[in-house]
């Protein structure tokens, strides 16, 4: 009803506006004395620019350029100066010569001092901002042909750590932490994701072509307005919107080849068998292989009984394909602006013989902005995606069943196929070709409706705003299973034993999940300049309701306020406030108040600075600081299950017990409830500066931060078994987290044809556990308190024992569980507490935490005529990961053996040249859990190279410009870790590694 | 101006009215709990279900060691070897005792449930005093049963009667003395015994009976009187107490007839075998068991124990009896294999043995489920030397009728206590208290059921003790008794330590076999292992814990 009325009303309004506009421009024509005409073009592309303001200096007279970039303006006198201005471009002032058409070329303003940054519930001018915010622009996102937008963040922003653990097709999302971790659980440490003003689950599958910017809010002043969930930082993704002017059609196509990085290569079957025999001999065990079997392995003369299969190479494609297309249209009139985009992404299976697995994504976006009257505007934003994932059934949950077996299962065990053509046991081809099909279809619909009403007539600068958003996502996994018969060939009897039955393909299960979210906000915003006093204000009320299927809804309510004040662009002050309620806590524990205060001083705007010679060197210098409180109301356990309503004592129905022939159902008490559970809270301090040197030739920013996090929702770690039940989580833990980050940008335009840029960022964050609820009986030096989150507690290895004499003289290692024999070549451990026995009391924190403490990136760019090239080096340091499985499990069962095991300890190789312990089938000593298996995860990666050439209009008709490019991702990695990709942290090498990608693409603008 | 006001009203209408009207009780999203403390204990049906749930902390012993296709405790004794690398029994055999099982938390969870139920007895509207007595008695029994499961592992442990609420001030608790623990268990059992019925209706079988509580008491007292504990359990007539407690079970009558008797249809050792697949009232031997639905071959608890190889698709062959165990079986004439005149033939070792041997072990040349077993090297059930490394599979506890790829099912109930154990408890206790005289009768009852000859008369107390130990090893094998018996006798270094043998059998060209005892493992055992170490993770949580000696 309302909508209908509104539409008919706005029709009359439109007519009115047109009349006003005509009336407004009429005087210009009437009073014109000299008419000047000309054209405005973009200096870089040579494109005509639409909507550039052309103003006669010191008057109110002016005009706008039309769709061809042309303008005409009447000036009062011949020597009048014209000012050309356009957002994002440097203003130009010139005194035109009469009689000649004026041709103006405008340069992009790379200093971006006028730049507007999207912050929580609004935008701010970068110049007067006091929060710690990093920005990534669309340009640098599009040039990374990643299958998942999270990966594109690596190395591009300070304070953001990106770890991509796997290259699993369709689910290769990187985990992101902002300023490291300050809470125990990975899932609790995830930043908040805001897409177009709405809190959303993920931005991973958004087409990079649709993204205008990604802003990362780090300190409390920026995140306090998100009170409830801002504690881990906020990632704000903003999609492109329409611009006034002629429709710009842009089309891009990319095709890429992916090849897996760092596949494990085991050593061949003969050498593996030799090592196994040696290990058995040393251990006094029955030899697994006879001399004739060894001979067969060596000569490969009996491939069906003594095979040598390199499973990894047999099943993994050297490269697989990926395509991406996008077409979008962007434009608008004065009153209606639009951005419409459609994209398609497709990724093929990384496995040989697998023509089932694939990932396809279709995405559409339509962002409309309508000015109904001069005061009232509406926006409608809609993004939708269809994601079709298809897998062979054995790879539905993860690639573990395939990759892990290829990694771990020895190729000496069974042939690829038996002599009679049947499948051998645990056969990977059987898993690929005969496991069935599984699909996972998702549809994602994200809509929001926005309205803004300027109420200058009531109070100048005041406007009313409101928004309603509705998201509806559903996914539908479906599985058909089958199984091939496998047979083991028994040599002595020349028979086949069936190891697995054949099952024909059959529907297994399917499932439909639906998640919905409703969000609303309404509020007032105020912006007003009173001479040198600039004031903005925001008061907002919002709420959201979301849920999956029929589960209990999540609900939040919030009152949000912000006041910013700047005096003469010199002194900045800002107060942010979030008062938030969460359904997750008992009514009296439900509300949290999260204020933040910040101050800034733009020193370079002071007279004394501008009058001093230092201004010639440092043309911009800003100091800023903030202190604030933020919270978190969500809690996940270590298995990724969300814990909700922990204040309620639950009772559950159980399977019960059987009496007679009937199962009696049962009731049991759930985990012991915690009536006092409430917000996890963080206090954040940030001190930073921004500076520009030599007229913005160098721009340097730096930040120091300190965070204290308390009431962390964590398990009661000290609960002894005799309590007899689990406690729910409580507000137990506390941590601190501090660090610094710096960013340096250098742009230099050498001449009209040649320019280059260098951009580097560096971040360091170190956390410390202050309280984790460690049990009273724990030895002081073994407590986690005082160490970083996710550190390893292990024995310290001093090397290999060289002689029995050395073993005799060293602290006894027989205190290790089950250890009753130590031999030369075994690992020697440090007796930490000096009691002469190595046992669990000698385990200490070693290495670095698993989340890197140091992150950095360096982007180098050059432009020469129409060529451009960018390369990004990205790296991380101060991180460890454990390779226990990889190293220590080689000789268990039928696992694979790797090159390092070939260089096992012998008296000759000693401590210096051995890469593995002595070979001996009893591992109680060496597998006790030592830093021996810890790997240094530091690396530097040539993350991205992007080479492009731009054809301008002059070269190709009908096309305004066209860029062709070739991009490489993950080209080279330098790391201490040589076997696995250092981000692919899975201990067992069991998941598909991330890919190296070579991509060619074209981007056409019509 | 009028228009502007209209727009304002429109905007507010669209946005704000939706928002504000939606906000009533917006944050009240918590589930309306259909069960809370009052609804559970204030309602008999729910309280009944809560009580039934206390039983679920009972664990079957088929695969307790390990989370995936685990091995039974038998694999950590001289009875058997666990075949797979992941069987944690292999760790125990080399002395790696930390994190042996997660029984302690499960047992204490059962104890907490019992405590919660007992604290609410007055709130529960029981339909009758009889029902109340039976239900409450069961709970007291279960609390005692779970706690004994704890102390037989660790010795004295904290006695829990408390219900911890959300982090109470202090979660630390001291270990109670072994004697206090035993007294606590006996007190629970003495509370339970008069409350419980001797016999329950058919539809309730599986519930705790008076006899179960009395039988557990017999076991608790026997364990307490044994060498490992008798320094702590200082009652002077402790063996007599144990004997009396056993005799009370034997003498228990209902409606004038004995409640329990050995399962004996006159079929000899076949009765011994079948006893495990039959429930009361047909089977009057079993006293307390895990009441369960019939099992198929494909069910884990059968597959794990079943032989591997030809004819046994998916059979895991995880439990492999050792030669050490096989050698414990007497000959059918009652003599041990190394005794003069026993008739034991090392070239034909499976001939003429205790009839129970043929019902306990699957060996080369035996037939099971109609399949001739070949555990000679290269045979169908030992194609590689590393398969079936002892040369034996278990037969006990496996129903012969339950075959692969058929849907035949059989009762396959894990038995916690049966009358034969109570007989042996009595024999052992009375032999210690008064000498061998009164022990003969019940020893011979057991042997005669399986057609074994009676024990020779005139045995000394020591000889009787040795015979009782062997009888327990054979009669109660694979029933999770050996592990505890050897410990309480402090005989671990004798039985569980040192060389362990399998039988490597080679088939000769003339079809005969050559038998070779082959060492497959040298096991570790020392006296500290009579008690489990308290895991360091638990030590860390309780500053008042004192570790067991030697660990």
Average pLDDT over chain B, rounded to whole? 91
Query: Which is nearest to A311 in space by CA: A166, A391, A416, A423?
Result: A416
Least confident among A539-543, B32-36, B440-444, B531-535: B32-36
What does the alpha-carbon distance between residue A888 and residue A882 come to, in Å, rounded to a whole number? 11
What does the alpha-carbon distance between residue A759 and residue A698 come to, in Å, rounded to a whole number? 10
- Quote the pLDDT of residue B434: 94
Choice between B66 and A22, residue whose per-residue pLDDT is larger: B66
The model scores a pTM over 0.90: no
B31 contact A CB<8A: yes
Q: What is the pLDDT of residues B17-40, one digit of tens each?
A: 555 555 557 788 777 777 888 899
What the block records as the tokens of A953 is 């209009």
**pLDDT confidence bin for B263, thresholds 50/70/90:** very high
Give mean pLDDT, residues A633-659: 88
- Quote the pLDDT of residue B309: 87
Query: Which is nearest to A819 in space by CA: A829, A809, A806, A805?
Result: A829
Q: How many CA atoms lie within 13 A of A732 on its CB side?
A: 21
* Residue B386 to residue A673, Cβ atoms within 8 A: no
What does the alpha-carbon distance between residue A813 and residue A819 come to, in Å, rounded to a whole number? 7
Give mean pLDDT, residues B309-331: 92
Give mean pLDDT, residues B131-155: 97
B516 contact A CB<8A: no
Mutate to test the interface with B, among A667, A844, A928 (most CBs of B within 10 A): A667
Kindly tell me if the per-residue pLDDT of A27 is higher than 70: no
Kindly tell me if the per-residue pLDDT of A21 is higher than 50: no
Q: What is the pLDDT of residues A112-154, one digit of tens each?
A: 445 788 888 888 888 888 888 888 888 778 766 778 888 888 8
Q: What is the pLDDT of residues A570-627, one digit of tens each?
A: 999 999 999 999 889 998 898 999 999 999 999 999 999 999 999 989 999 999 999 9
- For B159, the closest chain A residue by CA position comes to A722
- Quote the pLDDT of residue B17: 52
What does the alpha-carbon distance between residue A48 and residue A895 come to, in Å, rounded to a whole number? 66
In Å, how far from its chain's centre is CA B216? 13
Query: Which is nearest to A521 in space by CA: A572, A469, A478?
Result: A469
B538 contact A CB<8A: yes
Phi first, then psi: give them for residue A237, nearest 5 degrees.
Answer: -105, 125
**pLDDT confidence bin for A20, thresholds 50/70/90:** very low
**pLDDT confidence bin for B364, thresholds 50/70/90:** very high
- Quote the pLDDT of residue A74: 77
Residue A494 distance to chain B (closest CA, Å): 11
- Quote the pLDDT of residue A54: 84
Kindly tell me if the per-residue pLDDT of B51 is higher than 90: yes
β-sheet bridge partners, residue A440: A389, A477
Give mean pLDDT, residues A39-53: 79
* Residue B160 to residue A722, Cβ atoms within 8 A: yes
- Quote the pLDDT of residue B1: 52
Examine residue A372 and say whether the peptide bond preceding it is cis (omega within 30 degrees of 0).
no
**pLDDT confidence bin for A987, thresholds 50/70/90:** low
Other CB atoms closer than 10 Å to residue A21's CB: what's the count? 12
Kindly tell me if the per-residue pLDDT of A24 is higher than 70: no
Residue A776 distance to chain B (closest CA, Å): 5
Least confident among B157-171, B311-325, B415-429: B157-171
Interface pTM (ipTM) of the complex? 0.90
Q: What is the pLDDT of residues B6-15, one digit of tens each?
A: 666 665 665 5
Kindly tell me if the per-residue pLDDT of A836 is higher than 80: yes
| Candidate from B113, B202, B204 with C-beta closest to A668 | B113
- Quote the pLDDT of residue A8: 44
* Residue A658 to residue B28, Cβ atoms within 8 A: no
Query: Which is nearest to B477 in space by CA: B339, B334, B331, B322?
Result: B322
- Quote the pLDDT of residue A980: 82
- Quote the pLDDT of residue B5: 64
A139 contact B CB<8A: no
Least confident among A851-860, B6-15, B218-227, B447-456: B6-15
SS3 letters across A18-68 = HHHHHHHHHHHHHHCCEEEEEEEEECCCCCECCCCEEEECCCCCEEECCCC
Kindly tell me if the per-residue pLDDT of A25 is higher than 50: no
Q: Pick the most confident of A873-882, A976-985, B240-249, B383-392.
A: B240-249
| Candidate from A541, A667, A719 with C-beta closest to B50 | A667
* Residue B29 to residue A676, Cβ atoms within 8 A: no
Q: Can you tell me whether residue B21 is helix, strand or coil? A: helix
* Residue A497 to residue B310, Cβ atoms within 8 A: yes
- Quote the pLDDT of residue A228: 62
Q: What is the pLDDT of residues A58-102, one digit of tens each?
A: 776 777 888 788 888 877 765 677 888 887 777 787 877 766 778
Kindly tell me if the per-residue pLDDT of B102 is higher than 90: no
Average pLDDT over chain A, rounded to whole? 87
**pLDDT confidence bin for A5, thresholds 50/70/90:** very low
Give mean pLDDT, residues A921-936: 85
Give mean pLDDT, residues A440-445: 94
B161 contact A CB<8A: no
Least confident among A9-23, A193-207, A212-226, A727-741: A9-23
Choice between B289 and A65, residue whose per-residue pLDDT is larger: B289
* Residue A660 to residue B205, Cβ atoms within 8 A: yes
**A positions 453-492 inside 8 Å of B (CB):** 453, 455, 457, 464, 466-468, 490, 492
| Candidate from A3, A552, A818 with C-beta closest to B96 | A818
Kindly tell me if the per-residue pLDDT of A497 is higher than 50: yes
- Quote the pLDDT of residue A283: 74
Residue B290 distance to chain A (closest CA, Å): 9
- For A451, the closest chain B residue by CA position comes to B11
Q: Can you tell me whether residue B3 is helix, strand or coil? A: helix
SS3 content of chain B, % helix, strand, coil (to 5): 40, 10, 50
| Candidate from B19, B53, B111 with C-beta closest to A541 | B19
**pLDDT confidence bin for A107, thresholds 50/70/90:** confident
* Residue B98 to residue A673, Cβ atoms within 8 A: no
User: A33 to each of A65, A103, A565, how far by Cα in Å?
Assistant: 20, 21, 43
Q: What is the pLDDT of residues A703-743, one digit of tens each?
A: 999 999 999 988 888 888 899 999 999 999 999 999 999 99
Mutate to test the interface with A, among B96, B111, B171, B534 (most CBs of A within 10 A): B171
Q: Judge whether A54 and A62 are in contact, CB under 8 Å.
A: yes
For chain B, count helices (H), then strands (E): 20, 12
Kindly tell me if the per-residue pLDDT of A265 is higher than 70: yes
């Amino acid at each position: 009803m309302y909508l209908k009325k509104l539409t008919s009303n706005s029709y009359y309004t439109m007519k009115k506006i047109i009349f006003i506009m005509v009336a407004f421009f009429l005087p210009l024509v009437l009073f014109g004395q000299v008419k000047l005409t000309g054209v405005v073009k973009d200096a870089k592309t040579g494109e005509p620019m639409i909507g550039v303001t052309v103003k006669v200096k010191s008057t109110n007279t002016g005009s706008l350029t039309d769709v061809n970039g042309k303008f005409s303006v009447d000036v009062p006198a011949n020597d009048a100066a014209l000012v050309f201005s356009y957002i994002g471009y440097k203003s130009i002032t010139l005194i035109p010569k009469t009689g000649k058409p004026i041709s103006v070329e405008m340069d992009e303003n790379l200093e971006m001092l006028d730049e507007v940054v999207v912050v929580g519930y609004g935008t701010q001018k970068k110049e007067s901002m006091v929060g710690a915010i990093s920005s990534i622009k669309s340009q640098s996102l599009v040039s990374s042909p990643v299958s998942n937008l999270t990966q594109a963040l690596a190395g591009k922003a300070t304070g953001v750590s990106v770890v991509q653990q796997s290259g699993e097709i369709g689910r290769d999302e990187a985990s992101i932490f902002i300023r490291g971790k300050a809470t125990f659980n990975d899932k609790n440490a995830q930043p908040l994701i805001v897409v177009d003003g709405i809190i959303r689950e993920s931005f991973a599958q958004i087409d990079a072509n649709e993204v205008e910017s990604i802003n990362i809010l780090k300190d409390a002043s920026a995140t306090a307005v998100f009170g409830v969930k801002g504690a881990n930082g906020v990632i704000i993704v903003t999609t492109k919107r329409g611009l006034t002017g002629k429709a710009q059609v842009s089309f891009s196509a990319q095709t890429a080849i992916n090849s897996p990085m760092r596949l494990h290569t085991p050593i061949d079957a003969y050498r593996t068998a030799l090592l196994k025999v040696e290990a058995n001999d040393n251990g006094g065990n029955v030899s697994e292989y006879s001399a004739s079997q060894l001979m067969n392995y060596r000569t490969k003369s009996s491939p069906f009984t003594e095979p040598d299969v390199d499973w990894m190479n047999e099943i993994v494609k050297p490269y697989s394909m990926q395509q991406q297309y996008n077409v979008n249209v962007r434009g608008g009139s004065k009153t209606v602006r639009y951005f419409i985009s459609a994209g398609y992404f497709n990724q093929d299976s990384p496995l040989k013989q697998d023509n089932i697995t694939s990932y396809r994504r279709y995405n559409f976006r339509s962002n409309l902005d309508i000015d109904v009257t001069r005061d009232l505007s509406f926006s409608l934003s809609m993004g939708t995606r269809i994601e079709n994932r298809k897998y062979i059934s054995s790879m539905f949950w993860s690639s573990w069943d395939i990759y892990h077996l290829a990694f771990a299962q020895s190729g000496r065990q069974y042939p690829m196929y038996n002599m009679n053509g049947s499948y051998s046991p645990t056969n990977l081809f059987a898993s690929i070709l005969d496991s069935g099909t599984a699909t996972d279809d998702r549809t994602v619909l994200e809509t929001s409706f926005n309205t803004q009403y300027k109420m200058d007539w009531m109070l100048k600068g005041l406007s009313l705003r409101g928004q309603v958003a509705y998201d509806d996502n559903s996914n539908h996994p479906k599985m058909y299973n089958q199984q091939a018969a496998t047979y083991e060939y028994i040599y002595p009897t020349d028979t086949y034993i069936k190891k697995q039955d054949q099952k024909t393909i059959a529907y297994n299960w399917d499932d439909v999940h639906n998640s919905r979210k409703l969000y609303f906000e309404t509020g007032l915003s105020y912006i007003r300049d009173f001479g040198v006093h600039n004031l903005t204000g925001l008061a907002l009320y919002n709420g959201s309701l979301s849920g999956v299927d029929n589960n209990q809804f999540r609900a939040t309510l919030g009152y949000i306020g912000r006041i910013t004040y700047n005096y003469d662009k010199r002194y900045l002050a800002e107060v942010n406030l979030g008062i938030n309620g969460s359904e997750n806590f008992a009514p009296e524990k439900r509300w949290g108040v999260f204020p933040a205060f910040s101050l800034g001083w733009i020193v370079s705007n002071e007279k004394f600075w501008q009058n001093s010679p230092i201004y010639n060197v440092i043309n911009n210098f800003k100091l800023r600081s903030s202190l604030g409180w933020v919270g978190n109301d969500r809690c996940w356990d270590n298995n990724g299950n969300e814990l909700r309503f922990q204040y309620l004592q639950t009772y559950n129905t159980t399977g019960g017990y059987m009496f007679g022939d009937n199962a009696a159902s049962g009731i049991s008490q759930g985990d012991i409830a915690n009536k006092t559970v409430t917000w996890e809270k963080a206090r954040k301090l940030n001190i930073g500066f921004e500076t520009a040197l030599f007229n913005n030739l160098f721009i340097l920013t730096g930040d120091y931060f300190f965070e204290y996090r308390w009431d962390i929702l964590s398990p009661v770690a000290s609960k002894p078994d005799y309590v007899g039940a689990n406690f729910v989580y409580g507000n137990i833990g506390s941590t601190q987290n501090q660090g610094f980050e710096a960013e340096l940008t250098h742009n230099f335009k050498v001449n009209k044809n040649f320019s280059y840029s260098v951009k580097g960022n560096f971040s360091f964050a170190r956390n410390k556990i202050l309280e984790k609820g460690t049990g009273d009986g724990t030895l002081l030096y073994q407590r986690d308190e005082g160490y970083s989150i996710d550190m390893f507690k292990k024995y310290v290895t001093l090397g290999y024992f060289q002689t029995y004499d050395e073993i005799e003289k060293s602290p006894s290692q027989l205190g290790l569980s089950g250890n009753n024999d130590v031999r030369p070549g075994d690992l020697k451990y440090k007796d930490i507490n000096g009691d002469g026995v190595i046992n669990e009391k000698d385990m200490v924190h070693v290495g670095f935490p698993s989340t890197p403490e140091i992150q950095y990136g360096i982007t180098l760019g050059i432009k020469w005529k129409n060529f451009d090239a960018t390369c990004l080096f990205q790296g991380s340091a101060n991180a460890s990961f454990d390779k226990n499985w990889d190293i220590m499990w080689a000789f268990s069962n039928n696992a694979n053996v790797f090159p390092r095991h070939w260089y096992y300890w012998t008296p000759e190789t000693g401590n210096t040249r051995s890469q593995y312990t002595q070979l001996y089938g009893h591992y109680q000593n060496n597998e006790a859990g030592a830093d021996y298996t810890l790997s240094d995860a530091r690396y530097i990666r040539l993350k991205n190279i992007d080479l492009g050439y731009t054809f301008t209009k002059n070269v190709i008709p009908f096309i305004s410009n066209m860029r062709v490019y070739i991009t490489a991702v993950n080209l080279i990695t330098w790391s201490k870790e040589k076997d696995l990709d250092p981000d692919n942290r899975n201990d067992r090498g069991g998941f598909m590694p991330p890919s190296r990608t070579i991509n060619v693409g074209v981007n056409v603008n019509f | 101006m009028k228009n502007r006001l209209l727009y304002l009203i429109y905007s507010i209408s669209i946005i704000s009215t939706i928002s504000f009207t939606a906000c009533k009780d917006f944050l009240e999203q918590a589930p309306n709990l259909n069960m809370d403390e009052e609804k559970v204990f204030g309602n008999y049906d729910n309280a009944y279900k809560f009580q039934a749930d206390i039983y679920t902390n009972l664990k079957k012993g088929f695969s307790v060691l390990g989370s995936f296709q685990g091995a039974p405790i038998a694999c950590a004794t001289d009875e058997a070897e666990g075949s797979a690398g992941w069987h944690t029994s292999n760790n125990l055999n080399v002395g790696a005792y930390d994190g042996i099982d997660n029984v302690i938390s499960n047992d204490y969870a059962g104890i907490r449930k019992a405590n919660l139920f007992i604290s609410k007895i007055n709130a529960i509207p029981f339909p009758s005093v009889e029902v109340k007595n039976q239900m409450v008695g069961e709970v007291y029994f279960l609390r005692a049963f779970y706690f004994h499961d704890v102390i037989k592992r660790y010795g004295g442990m904290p006695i829990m009667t408390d219900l911890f609420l959300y982090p109470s001030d202090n979660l630390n608790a001291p270990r109670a003395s072994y004697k206090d623990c035993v007294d606590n268990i006996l007190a629970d059992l003495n509370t339970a015994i008069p409350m419980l019925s001797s016999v329950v209706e058919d539809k309730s079988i599986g519930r705790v009976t008076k006899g179960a509580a009395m039988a557990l008491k017999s076991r608790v007292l026997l364990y307490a009187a044994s060498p490992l504990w008798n320094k702590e359990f200082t009652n002077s007539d402790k063996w007599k107490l144990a004997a009396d407690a056993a005799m009370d079970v034997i003498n228990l009558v209902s409606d004038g007839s004995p409640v329990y008797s050995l399962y004996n249809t006159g079929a000899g050792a076949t009765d011994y075998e079948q006893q495990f697949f039959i429930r009361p009232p047909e089977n009057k031997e079993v006293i307390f068991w895990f009441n369960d639905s019939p099992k198929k071959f494909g069910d884990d608890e059968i597959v794990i124990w079943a032989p591997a190889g030809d004819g046994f698709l998916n059979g895991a062959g995880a439990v492999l009896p050792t030669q050490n165990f096989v050698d414990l079986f007497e000959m059918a004439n009652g003599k041990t294999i190394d005794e003069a005149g026993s008739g034991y033939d090392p070239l034909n070792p499976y001939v003429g043995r205790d009839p129970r041997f043929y019902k306990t072990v699957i060996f080369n040349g035996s037939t099971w489920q109609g399949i001739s077993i070949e555990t000679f090297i290269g045979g169908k059930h030992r194609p590689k030397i590393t398969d079936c490394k002892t040369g034996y599979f278990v037969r006990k506890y496996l129903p012969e009728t339950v075959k692969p790829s058929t849907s035949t099912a059989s009762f396959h109930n894990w038995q916690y206590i049966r009358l034969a154990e109570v007989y042996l408890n009595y024999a052992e206790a009375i032999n210690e208290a008064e000498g061998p005289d009164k022990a003969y009768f019940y020893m011979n009852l057991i042997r005669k059921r399986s057609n074994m000859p009676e024990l020779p008369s005139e045995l000394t107390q020591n000889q009787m003790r040795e015979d009782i130990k062997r009888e327990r090893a054979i009669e109660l094998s694979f029933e999770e008794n050996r592990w505890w018996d050897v410990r309480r006798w402090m005989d671990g270094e004798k039985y569980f330590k040192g060389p362990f043998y399998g039988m490597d059998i080679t088939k000769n060209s003339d079809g005969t076999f050559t038998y070779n005892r082959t060492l497959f493992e040298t096991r570790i055992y020392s006296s500290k292992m009579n008690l489990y170490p308290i895991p360091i993770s638990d030590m860390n949580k309780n500053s008042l814990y004192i570790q067991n000696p030697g660990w």
